[in-house]
Structure formats: structure tokens, C-alpha cells
Amino acid sequence: MHRYAFHSPCAQALRTAHVQVVPGREAEDGPELGAVVQSTLAVPMVARDTVLGLAQFSRTKGSEPFGERDTALAVELAARAAVCIDNARLYRREHERALILQRSLLPPGDPEAAGVEIACRYLPGNAATEVGGDWFDVIELPGHRTALVVGDVMGRGLRAAVAMGELRTAVRTLAMLDLEPAEVLSALDEIAHGLGRPGGKQSASRGVRGSVRPADLSEVYLATCVYAVYDPVTRRCTVANAGHLPPVLVEAGEPAMLLEVPPGMPLGVGGEPFEETEIELPDGALLALYTDGLVESRDHPLDEGLQAFREALSDPESPLEDVCDHVLGALDTHHGEDDIALLMARLRGLKPGCVGDWTLPPEPRSVARARELARDQLESWGLTDLVDTSELLVSELVTNALRYGEGEIRLRLLLDRTLVCEVWDGGHVQPRRRRARDTDEGGRGLQLVGLLSAAWGSRRTPHGKTVWFELALPDEDSPAPDAVEALLSLY
């Protein structure tokens, strides 16, 4: 760092942003150097009306003194250098912001899910590489199901990171609506197509079958994504793909294989429907979702990278964290050309003893029968502290299914990290919570469910709807909710 006296020519150049001529005797601090310097130009480096620094141009004795043309050239050189420095600072600032944004949107640590063991890795590109739009997520769905998502926004920098954040948020919102995987990708496709337009409006220039004209492609945020939903009760996994690399599946005693999923078009292109693939997986099966940075680089083609990835999964029985580390160690993950996201899930499923499933006829006595079944099941699981609350809430849901639903009623209890109760019926009208007046005789059932449960909701099914609630397992720190206090609070 250089320090200049307040009244020196160099300090004046920094203050005024004007070129100053420094006499030879002040050109350098040392008397020997000052003796050989005839004159010096102190030229401020200015970018966007801000002085970034100072450039000094000196001539020794015996040379011609600086003229007007020399001064103009020095100012031009200093201005160009200032622009380069300013651009470098802006790039570094944007890179840091994009990196902060990207990392803040990734799940913290290793997520947890019912019937699924999760391990994940995220490796950003090197410092010389712009931040990409890679992301992954693990979303817990009602019924102890789990959604696994990996995506990649095409492009780099802050623009890609922001688009990634918007799409990731949209995925979580759509997932909680409990849409099918293909429906989630279709909605994401429309969202991605509107990201590059003012107000997010959809373009009116789509041609036949919704195709996008070439002139519009520069405005479209293109992204690839694979979305999978695993149900630990049925042990079925439903996968939909939007132009992403297919997941890798490893079953015990079998070589790793690419899952055959229709590739679909990238998000943001539009015009083509997405398809789903449903497969039944045995306990212990390993599912790996990843981005192209893991298997593709300039040193080898994509096919070789995919083959190396499958070979690296030759020992799927090892601890999942070790499998992740082995994959990253076996593949070329230090090329720094792109971000790398890896999401691995070992699918365990729920044990049969953790599931209670019954079908009840659509008649009034089914309410009492549902309470009895719930009580017996919870006592067999040793959850006597939750019996009273569960009986009350099961009674409310089954009663609503009789009043507003259709067909047979199905009651299902699931035990894992929490207790989940589901009541299925053939009606399509979704329940709506409302605030009952003091004089109303009814209308407080869903209020009661909301007060006593950790979470509740409803979702569509192919043949009707499912209303569910979730209760935390009691322990010393979180005792079971008091049903009496909740009832009194409604009046």
C-alpha cells in the first residue's frame, strides 16, 4: 500500500481525478532514483465516476518531457486498466453472490425421510468457473412418501443461480400439492418458460403444437430435471424426466443400470407432455440421481463417464456415505468445468408391522369401528399416550368421509419417525377448514385436527381423495397433545 502526503501531486490526482505532473525530485522516495527521473505523470484510474487507483508513467533524464499526446495516451491506458479492474471486481462480486444464493438453497446436511436412507454431495466448480444452476432436493410428502429431485439450469452466473432458486421453490410448492411427477414437470415447464419475460407472462409466439420459435429461445430459461417419488409402503417409485440424465439403479446382486425413463424435453421449451415410469423396487435398492458435471468433461465423452459411474457403484451394500465418497474418488470430479450434484437414496420401505390398513363400509357404525381399530393398533405399537388423540381425530375424519365422501372408506396408519393416519374415500370434494361461530353445532372438526396434529392436509387420488394427519411420537421433551384442552379452546 502506498501512502502520499496530503498536498502531494499524487494525492491531489486521487482527490480531483485529474492528471498531475510530478517533478523528478518527488517521483521516488529514494534520492538515487529521484535523480535519474526527469518527470512523472500521476494518472488517476477512473471507472464509473469512481477513482480506483493511480497509474504512474515516468521518464528518465535525457528523454523528452511528456507532451499532450503522451498525456492523452496515458489517460487512455489508465482508463482501460480501470475498466478491467472494475469488471474483475464486478465479476467476483457476482460470483460470490451467486455462490451464496446457490448454497443457501441446497438442503443443509443430509436430509432424512421415512423408509429411505439419503446421502448427498455438492461440489462447486473451481474459482475460475462461474456458478452453475445445479440443485437437488429431498421433499417429504404426505403418507411418508419422499420426492427426490435433481435439476440443472442451463447457463452460468447469477442469472442461472436465480432461475435455479425460483424453480427449486416452485418444485417444493408443486410437490406439496401432491401432483403426479409428470404434472409437476408440466407445471415447471410453464414456469420456466415465463421466467425470462416481464411479469413472467407466457409468450404468445408459440407455433404448432406449442413449439417455440427460434427468436424466442434467447428469452427462455432452459433447465433439465428428474423428479422421482418413492412410496415406502408399496415400495413403488414413480419417475418423470425433463431432458435430464436418467437415474442409475442398483439392486442387490445386479450390475448398476440406467433406469429406462422417457427423456422428455428440457423445461422451458414446452409443447410436449411428460411421461412417467413406475417401478417396484426391493428393499435395499440404490437409486442415484446426479448432474452432468459428474460424468462429463472435456477429457472423456459422456458414455465413458456413465460407464465409469456404473462401475463405481459395484459395491452398493457399503454404507451410503462411503459409496458417495467412492464414486467421487473414482470419477474425474476435479476438472472444475461444472458443478457436481449427487443424490443417492437406499430404499428400505416400511416394515409390514408398521402399517395398519383396513376397509370400512360407508355406514355410521364404521366410525366406532375405526376408533376401535386405531386404539388396538396404537396399543400394539406401544403408543398408549397417543390413543385418546388418535381416536378423536380418526373419528372426525371418518365422520367427514361418511357425510361428504362417496363409496367405501379406507383407514391406514403408518408408523415411522412420526405417526400418520390416512382416511380415503371416493369423493372428489376437498375438505375446507372454516371458523365455526359460537352458536354452530358443527364445523369444528378440522379445527380440532389442526390443533391436535403436527400437520394435516388432503390430496387427490385416482379414485377420490385422502385426508391425513400426522402426530409426533411422544417423548420427555414433547409430550402428547392434550385433547381436552384443545376441545375447550374451540369454545
Q: With respect to residue 101, please indicate whether it lies within any of the assigned structural domains.
A: no
Q: With respect to residue 305, please indicate whether it lies within any of the assigned structural domains.
A: yes
Residues 358, 339: one domain?
no
Q: With respect to residue 209, please indicate whether it lies within any of the assigned structural domains.
A: no
Q: How many CB atoms lie within 10 A of CB 277?
A: 18
pLDDT at 103 over 90: no
DSSP state of 438: T
CA 284 – CA 287 distance, rounded (Å): 10
- Supply the CATH number for residue 447's domain: 3.30.565.10
Write out the DSSP string of 346-402: EE----GGGEEEEEE-SSTHHHHHHHHHHHHHHHHTT-GGGHHHHHHHHHHHHHHHH
- Supply the CATH number for residue 334's domain: 3.60.40.10
CA 454 – CA 181 distance, rounded (Å): 26
Alpha-helical (H) ranges within 410-491 are 445-452, 483-489
Residues 13, 152: one domain?
no
pLDDT at 232 over 90: yes
- Express each pLDDT in 402-437 by its tens digit: 988 899 999 999 999 899 999 999 988 888 665 544
Instruction: Give residue 365's pLDDT.
Output: 94
Instruction: Give residue 423's pLDDT.
Output: 95
Q: With respect to residue 211, please indicate whether it lies within any of the assigned structural domains.
A: no
Secondary structure (3-state) at 268 = coil
Secondary structure (3-state) at 444 = coil
Residues 158, 226: one domain?
yes
Residue 102: pLDDT band (50, 70, 90) is low
CA 202 – CA 194 distance, rounded (Å): 5
Could you list the residue range(s) of the whole structural domain that residue 27 is in? Answer: 9-96
Write out the DSSP string of 163-201: HHHHHHHHHHHHHHTT--HHHHHHHHHHHHHHTTSGGGP
Alpha-carbon Rg for the chain, nearest whole angstrom, is 32
What percentage of the chain carries pLDDT values higher than 70?
Answer: 80
Write out the DSSP string of 388-430: HHHHHHHHHHHHHHHHH--S-EEEEEEESSEEEEEEEES--PP
Q: With respect to residue 153, please indicate whether it lies within any of the assigned structural domains.
A: yes
Residue after which a domain boundary falls, among 96, 129, 164 = 96
441 Cβ neighbours under 8 A, 6+ residues apart: none
Residues 31, 83: one domain?
yes
Q: With respect to residue 172, please indicate whether it lies within any of the assigned structural domains.
A: yes
Residues 380, 358: one domain?
yes
Instruction: Give residue 210's pLDDT.
Output: 45
- Supply the CATH number for residue 48's domain: 3.30.450.40
Residues 194, 258: one domain?
yes
What percentage of the chain carries pLDDT values higher than 90?
Answer: 35
Poorest-pLDDT segment among 32-46, 55-69, 370-384: 32-46
308 Cβ neighbours under 8 A, 6+ residues apart: 295, 300, 330, 331
Residues 402, 437: one domain?
yes
Query: Residue 170 pairs with which residues in a beta bridge?
Result: none
| Interval 289-293 mean pLDDT | 91
Residues 254, 193: one domain?
yes
CB 387 within 8 A of CB 377: no
Q: With respect to residue 3, please indicate whether it lies within any of the assigned structural domains.
A: no
CA 265 – CA 271 distance, rounded (Å): 9
Residues 341, 357: one domain?
no
Poorest-pLDDT segment among 262-271, 274-283, 369-378: 262-271
Residues 38, 155: one domain?
no
For the chain, how many structural domains are there in total?
Answer: 3
| Interval 434-446 mean pLDDT | 54
- Express each pLDDT in 137-153 by its tens digit: 999 998 899 999 999 88
- Express each pLDDT in 379-389 by its tens digit: 999 999 999 99
Residues 227, 277: one domain?
yes
- Residue that wins the pLDDT comparison between 158 and 465: 465
Residue after which a domain boundary falls, among 67, 96, 125 = 96
Burial readout 54-90 (b: 16 or more C-beta within 10 A, e: otherwise): bbbbbbeeeeeebeeeeeeebbeebbebbeeebeeee
Residue after which a domain boundary falls, among 300, 315, 347 = 347
Residue 481: pLDDT band (50, 70, 90) is low
Own/partner contacts of 135-138, CB < 8 Å, gap of 24 or more, are 135/102, 135/105, 135/106, 135/164, 135/167, 135/168, 135/341, 136/106, 136/107, 136/289, 136/341, 136/342, 136/343, 137/106, 137/107, 137/168, 137/171, 137/172, 138/107, 138/111, 138/113, 138/343
Instruction: Give residue 204's pLDDT.
Output: 45
Question: Of 88-92, 205-209, 337-341, 403-407, which has the strongest mean pLDDT?
Answer: 403-407
Residues 59, 160: one domain?
no
Stretch (H or E) spanning 134: strand 133-141
Instruction: Give residue 160's pLDDT.
Output: 75
- Residue that wins the pLDDT comparison between 385 and 95: 385
- Express each pLDDT in 208-220 by its tens digit: 444 444 444 444 5
Instruction: Give residue 65's pLDDT.
Output: 80
Q: With respect to residue 2, please indicate whether it lies within any of the assigned structural domains.
A: no
